[in-house]
Amino acid sequence: MKKPIKLFHIEDYVIDTRNFSHSLHDSMVTQFEEEFAKYVGAKYACSINSATSAIFLIFLEKNVTVDVPSVIPPVVLNAIINGGNRINFVDNIDWVGDSYILHNFESTPAQTKSCVWKNYKVIDSAQKVEKGQFKKEANPQDLMFFSFYPTKPVGGLDGGMIVSDDYDKICYFKEAVLNGMGYAANNWEREIKFPGWKMYLSSFQAHVAYQNFKKLPDKMARLAEIRDFYNKNLTLNNTSSHLYRITVKENKKSLLKMKEKGITCGIHYEAMHLNGIYADHWDVPIAYNCTKSSNAAATTLSIPFHEKLNNEELDHIVTNIKGEML
């Protein structure tokens, strides 16, 4: 191959700032929220500067213990703990590339004086965006969040979205990400209701994510073709629209061998219960058994999976990766 094959495709962006409103929450951001909510089958949506921020706000001061898969990005653990909670590692490796229930709240303190939040699930869909999925996977009172990190299905300049059919919950998040301010016709007339955060999705972030969101159906169709090609030629049955993972003997050795052949691979993800402070049982239960996670972290390899792969590149990947598979 003439040039290395990328693990993900990330668009190059040229933004004409003359067409932008630099208000905290302009009409294009609102339009994106409304269209995204409709697409996934929810009534309301709140955009945010990252999915990590979404996790932090959702779990803020809940004082709960959250069962978290060990094979997971560290930002999930950090956001939960920094919000005043605890984690417990569980041996779940099936969630990667899909959505899953991160936590099920039976009852929590009211976030606003007008509502008591109870009996709702928090669904992590940072790696998946499908039409109508909120209606399929959630109840009206549940919260589902998404990521617009550059490599995700709706890639952007980072960012995210929280959706629900619960108006009160979404109103709280809309105020929380805008410094605790309510909405008003003019920015200078907004009332600060509580000490919030600067976590809103900027116009620039929203523009890029919105453009990629509109391309999502075509992107998903091409990824389905590539996934079918891999499944047929590698004799697998993967279903993710974000990652294509295979099992090898030693993933770090295979990663380097594939790099020599011009194929960029990745590891999704490391086992957090074996990493740094978490390996030392910092603020987590000492007694946990994550055998599957430990094994997956050492033997799972992500191969290139994006809509710009051509047939020559796919043949090159399959030909070289077969010898690494178990």
Domain around 95: 17-214
Alpha-carbon torsion, ordered 255, 260, 264, 267, to 10 deg: 10
Lowest-confidence range among 22-31, 194-203, 256-265, 290-299? 22-31
Average pLDDT of the chain is 89
Which helix (H) or strand (E) segment is 122 a member of? strand 118-124
pLDDT digits (tens, 9 = 90+) for 246-284: 999 999 999 999 999 999 999 999 999 989 888 876 666
| Structural domain includes residue 1 | no
Which tops the pLDDT comparison, 44 or 90?
A: 44
If one compares 136 and 184, the residue with the highest pLDDT of the two is 136
CA distance 148 to 112: 28
Q: What is the pLDDT of residue 114?
A: 44
- Say yes or no: 172 and 137 in one domain: yes
Angle, vertex CA 314, rays to CA 313 and CA 315, nearest 5 = 90
What per-residue confidence (pLDDT) applies to 113? 45
pLDDT value at residue 112: 46
Query: 174, 196, 214 — which closes off a domain?
Result: 214
Whether this model's pTM surpasses 0.85: yes
- Smallest Cα–Cα separation from 240: which of 122, 132, 100, 118? 100
Domain with 278 in it: what CATH number? 3.90.1150.10
* Domain closes at, from 158, 192, 214: 214
